[in-house]
Amino acid sequence: MASDLNQTLSKTYIGLQLWVIIVIGLGLIFGVVLGLSLWLSFRKKSRRSNDMLPVSQPAYISEEIKEIRVDQASANNAFRDTLHDKFNERESENGLINIEHGDDSESGSFNHLEKDVKGPQSGEDGGTGAVSTYKPSSHPLTAPSPLCGLPEFSQLGWGHWFTLRDLQQATNRFSRDNIIGDGGYGIVYKGNLINGNPVAVKKLLNNPGQADKDFRVEVEAIGHVRHKNLVRLLGYCIEGTQRLLVYEYVNNGNLEQWLRGDMSHKGYLTWEARIKILLGTAKALAYLHEAIEPKVVHRDIKSSNILIDDNFDGKISDFGLAKLLGDGKSYITTRVMGTFGYVAPEYANSGLLNEKSDVYSFGVLLLEAITGRYPVDYGRPQPEVNMVEWLKMMVQQRRSEEVVDPNIETRPSTSALKRALLTALRCVDPDAEKRPKMSQVVRMLESEEYPLSREDRRRRRNQNTEAEQQMDNSDVHQSNDPDSRLESRKDHPK
């Protein structure tokens, strides 16, 4: 049997033995099968990628649409639209006048310490002095999202669910060199996402219970909020005990740094720049207080929490102490927290918190921008330690011109200074009921006339009434006295 098989396999066909032909045939069949399997698997993968592409792109577009719809649905639409129109109808007229003049924008946004500086500081090639051109964004909501190109969007309609590994990679494993802020509630790192966009990553401190509380407050307060003068929350991370928040990156310092001279290598803020930053801050607070429901009370308005972008627009950051004030509630009772010097007196004394507490803090912030001083400075003489009380004294003594920050090279006009001071003093009124709403503060700052307090308006109204009564009494006296009528006829002959 074996010999017959060997003879059969040893037969020669086409110059090759039969067993050689069989081996070659099996090899060809194996090669064809292997090629077909590889081709089919490659085709399946390409189909998968093609199928995923149209799904992921519309998903991203729909998320952006949801972001806008959430804001509109959460507010009273008619009131919010009216409020927004009022806030923006004169913005182009009352912005930074000097900044909007192209090549001369450097002198408008800040006063250079060295006028003839050349090189990167002069704004060449958009270097470190890249504030030389002012290009305001008229459509902030249509700008490309920093989240564009990131995979696996979370189910939230407003942002992205990051993994701890993503954020470790973005911040170089939370390197000390990446730290850009350090406060009582967390450390802030600068990072770069895989799509190349810079972000600020806030790592909440792991105090038992505290990190979760801060995390929920910030996410609930600003997760769905969209306003060009609010720092945008892009996403978050929850892994184990880690709680991290990812914000848009604002790289032009904060108001405190500009007022204290930490940004003096770029110059000092002009009066127009300060008012623009404060006006944007006021609009953002008005939006939080009056245009969304539940309203948001920030509770920690201060100069270090006002970030400044390249267009010198102010952006409110750090919602770690924010509280939500639901419909029908005029105030809430909470543990007193905030920054010394900015806290409203009624909140400090009783723990009763509402939006008027933010109004008081904004008034202190406005006075800080006018004077360049700390709200409380124990290094100054006793009458000047408390900035608010000192400024009230200076206004009463008619020495308002002396309170302006000496670092402002071109001093404001008397009317502009008076308008800003009276607005600030109304905001820091000890009686919370007499403080204006933030929407009224916006109108005061935009108005060409200085605002009158209630007492001034009442006094002016009483004076007009008394003048009218005197005129009426004089007319009655003349009508009852024939001699006076005769004299009046002689004085005014027909």
**Is 456 considered catalytic here?**
no
Identity of the amino acid at 78: A
Return the percent helix, strand and coil in the chain, to nearest 5: 50, 15, 35
Those residues whose C-beta lies under 8 Å from the C-beta of residue 332, and which sit 6 or more positions away, are 323, 325, 352, 353, 354
pLDDT score for 369: 97
Spot the catalytic one: 300, 309, 358, 429.
300
DSSP 178: G
Calculate the alpha carbon distances from 453 to 117, 242, 249, 421, 436 in Å: 46, 50, 39, 12, 10
Give me the phi and psi of 260, to 5 degrees please: -90, -5
Nearest to 311 by CA among 65, 87, 143: 143
In contact, 252 and 185? CB cutoff 8 Å: no
Give me the pLDDT at residue 303, please. Answer: 95
Distance of CA 403 to the CA centre of its chain: 28
Residue 467 pLDDT:
58
- CA distance between the termini of the chain: 158
CA atoms within 13 A on the CB side of 321: 21
Q: Annotation-wise, does 228 bind a ligand?
A: no
Which domains, and CATH codes, for the chain?
65-113+144-446 (1.10.510.10), 463-491 (no CATH)
Q: What is the pLDDT of residue 43?
A: 73
pTM of the model: 0.61
Write out the DSSP string of 282-348: HHHHHIIIIISSSEEE-S---GGGEEE-TT--EEE---TT-EEE-TT-S-EE----S-TTTS-HHHH
Q: What pLDDT score was predicted for residue 158?
A: 67
**Per residue of the chain (494 residues), what is the pLDDT tens digit?**
667 777 777 777 777 888 888 888 898 998 898 888 888 887 766 555 444 443 333 333 333 333 333 333 343 444 444 444 444 544 444 444 344 333 443 334 444 433 333 343 333 333 333 343 333 444 444 455 665 655 544 445 567 788 899 999 999 999 999 998 887 678 999 999 988 889 999 988 765 555 566 666 667 667 778 899 999 888 888 888 888 889 999 989 999 999 998 888 999 999 999 999 999 999 999 999 999 888 888 888 999 999 999 999 999 988 767 777 766 566 676 777 778 899 999 988 888 888 999 999 999 999 999 999 999 999 999 999 999 999 999 999 999 999 999 999 999 999 999 999 999 999 999 999 999 999 999 999 998 765 655 555 566 566 556 656 665 665 555 555 555 554 545 455 54
